[in-house]
Structure 1
Amino acid sequence: MTIGDVLRTAALSVVLAGTATAETLPSALARAYMNNPDLNAGRASLRAIDENVPRALSGYRPSVAATASAGATYETGRTGSSGVLANTRDALFPRQAALQVTQNLFNGFRTANSVREAESGVLGARETLRQTEGDTLFSAAQAYMDVLRDTATLDLHRNNVEVLEEQLRQTRERYTAGEVTRTDIAQAEARLEASRSQVSLAQANLQSSIATFRRIIGVEPRQLAAGKPPDQLIPSSLAQAVRIALAEHPAILSALHAVDAAELQVKVVEGELAPSLNLVGSVGGGYDTSVPGDRSVTAAFGAQLTVPLYEGGETYARVRQAKEVAGQRRIEAEATRDAVRSALFSAWGALESAKANVISAQAQVAASEVALTGVREEARAGQRTTLDVLNQQQELLIARVNLIVAQRDRVVGAFSVAQAVGRLNAASLALRVPTYRPGAHYEAVRDLPWGLTTPDGR
């Protein structure tokens, strides 16, 4: 089996079960984009955070409350007039109902700042979702290439077992002819058993990769086509990649929105120290409240001013606490920048190393194939031992495995750089899927004044 046969096996016929339409890397990424539970959970989390905006906007709207009460009272006694006493017994069934409307006019700008804080939270959550999307697509690409790598590696080890079985057969024939010793047979047998052990290990590695593929992408791998690196997403230089990452990476943008939200929270808490002005209107009615058959209707309208004077220091403590949290968020944003830059340098170096390893591994395979052919010819002429042939076969096997690993690392490395830059998403990869639009849910719920069902009908 030549290296060309191995690569065709890895690229065109990775058959793990019954054959079906070949799965490509883009189609696997599309499946992960639609079905991955972590990504769908992130979308649900964002939809929940969207609701913080209508909650904050409710501060601009009036609050309406209705109350009602009903009961019964019984009174017995004796009353007297002009020296005459009489027994009395009264029964009342009092009923009351009231409606009160309260409209805030000023609350220290707490409502306005709460709305802005909620909007910053939504924007930050969108960036977090974009980060989750990139992480999911990278994990899917990695799982896809791991299955390809482990399948091709398993095929190599199985082929090596076949080669060693043939080598053992020939060695035994030569032993019968008196050309080699019993030691040569023992060497061939030992190498064959070691190769069979490698097959078992390769099978275990493949099963693990299949399980990861199923968890991330949502289906069993059937027939996988060759994976291609997303080179169109890779900047032309490391310096350009750093500039793009610092400007566009979702982790950095999410951290900056968290800073904005924390600073607005300081203003929200400080607003609690300001006066609050409300308009209050009420209307109510009562029946049988004092004597049987009486009725009353009352209506009131007025302004209510509340000035906080002292609350034991609790509000002041929360203001100081909010300021410290805002400072923490600023520090975290700087740490995120450093982490993104570090991850990008690491990914870029790994990609460059993988590219060089592919070239070296290809040269190593070519040289090892030539060397094995020469050693076998020399062994037939009696100039090489059986151990020399076995060692050269092992060298070729290692070279072929190294090439497969290098090719896998080349593709995964490109995805890693795209992820580190912050451009790994369904749109940039041109996946054939309906793109999830986070703003659709936000627009649907932002100004809803009532309703218990979600936009999707739940």
Structure 2
Amino acid sequence: MAVAPGPMRLRASLLVAAIALACAAPAARATDLLDVWRAAEQADLDHAVAREAHAAAMPRRDQAAALWRPSVNVSASAGIATHETRTRGAQFSAPGSSPSSGVNFNTSIKDGTAGRWAISASQPLYNPERRAQQQLLGLSADQADLEWQSARQTLMLRTAQRYFDLALAAESLRVLRLQRDAVQRASTEAQDRFTLGATPVTDTYEAGARLAGIQAQVLAAETEVRLKRELLADSTGMPPAALSARLPAGRSTDARPRPLDAWLLEAQAGNPDIRARQIATEAARQEASKFSLQSSVTVDLVAQASRDRLSGSGDFGSAANRGTDRMIGVQISVPLYTGGMRSARQEEALRLADKAAAEADRSRQQTAQQVRSAWLGLSVGAERVQSLAQGVKASEARRDATHLGHEVGERTTLDVLNAENDAAAARLALVQARAGLLMDRLRLAALAGQLDDTMLRAVDEDLEPATPN
């Protein structure tokens, strides 16, 4: 029986559709990952909160330095005052006369003019509690630096994940549209062949059912692309229409990570969370030292000067009082009894220091587990990408063979559709694995505290070239 010319037209139509979709330029030029990150660094609201928190913590170093600088205070007052004194049984003596005993002295100024000024200065010489407070302020600023580093790395990972989510969603939509066009042509071809009596009616039903199913998937994929693009736009402040992500090209899939032990050592030394926990432990110990017995004694160099003046009228006529005080010396302060408050606060601080140390140990363990997971994902992922790449070649060869079999009548329309679907699924699985491999690289670098713009630039270089407008 002669073979109907329809299958040849079907294969040609599928090939033309594939070439057209592969070569069609996107509506927006593909955006680099590094450009997206730089936009997110300025526009992301969570990152803005972290940036302001970091800026607020920076003056703590100045506060720490100021704790050991001298302090100077000046005060002055003026007003109306009343001052009366009564002295009984005093002894009075004057030049050229003998002392007089039982003398009374009375002074009186009512509603007089009063004025006072005073200046005092203090320089800490020995103050363990103040030294501990200085250490706490410095540690707090160091911890804020680490939290800022962690926030930047978190934003980098989140931005990269959203970028690849958009790229994968767009690729899935592209493939589904390609399948829809192919199934549409297959459905038309099946109807033509059924009309000619070359195929059974079941082929038309199968093609129609597959077309309806793929059309539903296309609608869902279009929604997913829109959501992913809006999510990335919210984080970057870029207009959604300007966002078009690039897929991984897979040029670095042969690269193997360094030995696991090396990554574990670098993570223990450079992970921001571990370092922050270590600082928190040291800060808790410094807090406990503030309440020790040795820290209770303080020695300060002090200087004071003041003058008081009061003038007016009273019971004995006009009067005026003036007084001047000056002093420079060393002041020692020793608390003798605090009702047990100081020892109780020290006990609490010591327990909090033990808690902080336990949290630091837990952070080390969790980070080590995360490093192992990311390292294994990177190691196994490279082999998985290679296997999937071979699977893509095999599925494409099977698709071509199925088309050829359909031309000579040995394969049904359903076989062709299944082969097209399997080839598309293999392609999607490959790009998903490549994106996952790049994300594992970024996660591993973040766990070691090494994720920065240079790493993102390296990932950018491993993406497919941007398609020109």
Fold match by TM threshold 0.5: yes
Tell me which of 15, 19, 39 is aligned to 1:31: 39
Q: Separation in 1 of the partners of 2:156 and 2:391?
A: 32
Q: Separation in 1 of the partners of 2:36 and 2:447?
A: 21
Aligned to 1:374: 401
Aligned to 2:188: 169
Q: Separation in 2 of the partners of 1:7 and 1:28?
A: 26
Residues 328-407 of structure 1 correspond to what in structure 2 (within 5 A)? Answer: 328-407=355-434
Tell me which of 111, 131, 134 is aligned to 2:130: 111
SS at match of 1:328: helix
Q: For 1:315-355, what per-residue CA distance to the aligned partner results, in whole angstroms no more than 9, with x for missing partners? A: 11111111111111111111111111111111112223332
Q: For 1:210-235, what per-residue CA distance to the aligned partner results, in whole angstroms no more than 9, with x for missing partners? A: 13312333324534445578979985
- Structure 1 residues 375 and 290: alpha-carbon distance in aligned structure 2, compared to 1, 3 A threshold: farther
Aligned to 2:341: 314
SS at match of 1:288: strand
1:98 pairs with 2:117? yes
SS at match of 1:281: strand
Q: Separation in 2 of the partners of 1:266 and 1:136?
A: 35
1:62 pairs with 2:81? no
Amino acid aligned to 1:299: D
CA contact (8 A) 1:136 1:216 kept: no
Q: Separation in 1 of the partners of 2:185 and 2:18?
A: 21
Aligned to 1:294: 320
Q: Separation in 2 of the partners of 1:417 and 1:7?
A: 36
Tell me which of 240, 244, 255 is aligned to 2:262: 240
CA contact (8 A) 2:176 2:218 kept: yes
Cα RMSD for the two superposed structures: 3.2
SS at match of 1:360: helix
- Structure 1 residues 318 and 107: alpha-carbon distance in aligned structure 2, compared to 1, 3 A threshold: farther
CA contact (8 A) 1:69 1:95 kept: yes
> TM-score, length-normalised on structure 2?
0.78
SS at match of 1:287: strand
- Structure 1 residues 384 and 150: alpha-carbon distance in aligned structure 2, compared to 1, 3 A threshold: same
Aligned to 1:268: 290
1:253 pairs with 2:275? yes
1:213 pairs with 2:239? no
1:285 pairs with 2:313? no
Q: Separation in 2 of the partners of 1:410 and 1:242?
A: 19
CA contact (8 A) 1:63 1:101 kept: yes
Instruction: Report the Cα offset of residue 13 of structure 1.
Output: 5.2
Instruction: Report the Cα offset of residue 192 of structure 1.
Output: 0.7
- Structure 1 residues 395 and 290: alpha-carbon distance in aligned structure 2, compared to 1, 3 A threshold: farther
Q: Separation in 2 of the partners of 1:424 and 1:178?
A: 64
Q: Separation in 1 of the partners of 2:139 and 2:252?
A: 34
Q: For 1:89-126, what per-residue CA distance to the aligned partner results, in whole angstroms no more than 9, with x for missing partners? A: x9624332222414143564122221122112212221
Aligned to 1:53: 61
Q: Which runs of 5+ in 2 are unaligned?
A: 1-13, 85-108, 459-469
Q: Separation in 1 of the partners of 2:319 and 2:416?
A: 116
CA contact (8 A) 1:142 1:412 kept: yes
Tell me which of 439, 446, 450 is aligned to 1:419: 446
- Structure 1 residues 198 and 124: alpha-carbon distance in aligned structure 2, compared to 1, 3 A threshold: same
1:222 pairs with 2:243? yes
SS at match of 1:23: coil
SS at match of 2:453: coil
Instruction: Report the Cα offset of residue 14 of structure 1.
Output: 5.1
SS at match of 1:270: coil
Instruction: Report the Cα offset of residue 5 of structure 1.
Output: 6.3
Amino acid aligned to 2:379: E
Bigger Cα Rg: 2
CA contact (8 A) 1:269 1:318 kept: yes
SS at match of 2:67: helix
Aligned to 2:95: none
1:203 pairs with 2:222? yes
CA contact (8 A) 1:120 1:261 kept: yes
Instruction: Report the Cα offset of residue 204 of structure 1.
Output: 2.2
- Structure 1 residues 226 and 161: alpha-carbon distance in aligned structure 2, compared to 1, 3 A threshold: closer
CA contact (8 A) 1:351 1:413 kept: yes
Greater CA drift, 171-180 or 226-235: 226-235
**Structure 1 vs Structure 2: percent identity of aligned residues?**
20
Residues 42-191 of structure 1 correspond to what in structure 2 (within 5 A)? Answer: 42-60=50-68, 61-71=70-80, 92-106=111-125, 108-191=127-210
CA contact (8 A) 1:276 1:306 kept: yes
SS at match of 1:294: strand
- Structure 1 residues 178 and 430: alpha-carbon distance in aligned structure 2, compared to 1, 3 A threshold: closer
Amino acid aligned to 1:254: A
SS at match of 2:452: coil
Q: Separation in 2 of the partners of 1:231 and 1:430?
A: 13
